[in-house]
Amino acid sequence: MVYRNPSMQDETVRKGPWVEEEDERLAMFVNIMGERRWDSIAKASGLKRSGKSCRLRWMNYLRPDLKHGQMTIEEEHMILQLHERWGNKWSKIARRLPGRTDNEIKNYWRTHLRKRAQEQEQEKVQREIEIAMSIKPEKTMLRQDSDLSSQSTTSYECSNGSGGDGCLTVSENVFSSSDYPFTMSPYETRLSDWISGSSSNNQTDTFKDEQGCSVEDSWFRYPAGDADGIWENCSATLWNW
DNA sequence: AATGTTGACAACCGCTATGTT
DNA sequence: AAACATAGCGGTTGTCAACAT
């Protein structure tokens, strides 16, 4: 597959899959010139590829620190959880998964996890609604309840402020209630965020709790007795973040 | 056996952010 | 401060193999 650049008389730019010879040549020149100035690398190597294409090939396939095998269960969980929190911030997610690229994670999400996540999300929201309704059935009106603020709980309005039928009030203390034997998971956080209209982007990486885990990390702790048990402790011990 | 469909992955494209001159 | 170059990101498309009809 060859694309003829109209601005150049006889120069052509190759596109499509890379062949082994190109890979070897690119790797050699990256080792000599470093991982930068990709246009220069493309020119110097004599590869009929754009600098951008060279960079992509190196970053997504040739880099020596990349893993090439199947995703592990832990990695899969990690992707699900981080996507739950950050959405399609693939490069951000990839930084938490050493040896995996944003492209790889993006593809993996699309082909393996998207459907599962949607199902989980649906189940979770349904469960949260049921729990909220059963614990505080009298608070199904949606409005900012000033008399509740003195009880260190917060209720929420519909984003359109109408408070009409079908709106739902969820108090924060619903999820910290002893009736609800789970610590805050990203799903709960998401529902609260969604209702309040606040964004989880406000979170930072810097806060530490009493165990030395960041606040973000602590969101990954799942209920004791969780089948995998991998979220029980600060995830840093597993993934060195 | 031929054709169509689907899943998996690599690569490209357009755009934005950041760095350099 | 402005212009340009480079790097990075996320969405999309292309290709190929496996499977179903």
Query: How do residues A96-111 score in pLDDT, each as one tens digit?
Result: 888 888 888 888 888 8
Q: Using an 8 Å Cβ cutoff, are A115 and A121 in contact? A: no
**Distance from residue A115 (CA) to nucleotide C7 (C1'), in Å?**
32
| Residue A72 confidence (pLDDT) above 70 | yes
Q: Which of residues 85-144 of A touch strand C (CB under 7 A)?
A: 88-92, 102-103, 106-107, 110
User: What is the per-residue pLDDT for A149?
Assistant: 34
Q: Which of the 8 DSSP states describes residue A219?
A: T
Of A19-33, A117-131, A167-181, the range with the highest mean pLDDT is A19-33
Q: Which of residues 161-200 of A touch strand C (CB under 7 A)?
A: none
**H helices of chain A, where?**
20-33, 38-45, 51-57, 73-86, 90-95, 102-108, 114-135, 146-149, 173-176, 186-196, 215-218, 236-239
User: What is the per-residue pLDDT for A136?
Assistant: 59
| Residue A44 confidence (pLDDT) above 50 | yes
Please, which pLDDT band fits residue A207 given cuts at 50, 70 and 90? very low
User: What is the per-residue pLDDT for A8?
Assistant: 36
| Residue A33 confidence (pLDDT) above 60 | yes
User: What is the per-residue pLDDT for A66?
Assistant: 87
Q: Is the CB of A219 under 7 A from strand C?
A: no
Report the distance separating Cα A143 and Cα A158, nearest Å: 7
Specify the higher pLDDT residue, A34 or A192. A34
User: What is the per-residue pLDDT for A164?
Assistant: 31
Q: Which of the 8 DSSP states describes residue A13?
A: E
Of A6-10, A78-82, A188-192, A195-199, the range with the highest mean pLDDT is A78-82
Q: Is the CB of A12 under 7 A from strand C?
A: no
| Residue A194 confidence (pLDDT) above 60 | no
Nearest partner of A53 among A79, A96, A18, judged by Cα:
A18
Average pLDDT, chain A: 60
Average pLDDT over residues A175-202: 32
User: What is the per-residue pLDDT for A129?
Assistant: 82
Q: Is A110 helix (H, G, I), strand (E, B) or coil?
A: helix
User: What is the per-residue pLDDT for A113?
Assistant: 80
| Residue A24 confidence (pLDDT) above 80 | yes
Nucleotide nearest to A54 (CA to C1'): B11
Backbone angles phi, psi at A14, to 5 degrees: -75, 145
Q: Is the CB of A2 under 7 A from strand C?
A: no
User: What is the per-residue pLDDT for A160?
Assistant: 34
Q: Using an 8 Å Cβ cutoff, are A142 and A167 in contact? A: yes
Q: Which of residues 16-55 of A touch strand C (CB under 7 A)?
A: 16-17, 35-40, 51-52, 55
User: What is the per-residue pLDDT for A92?
Assistant: 86
Average pLDDT over residues A64-80: 85
**B strand bases under 7 Å from protein CB:** 7-14
User: What is the per-residue pLDDT for A177?
Assistant: 30
User: What is the per-residue pLDDT for A151?
Assistant: 35
**Distance from residue A42 (CA) to nucleotide C7 (C1'), in Å?**
15
User: What is the per-residue pLDDT for A196?
Assistant: 33
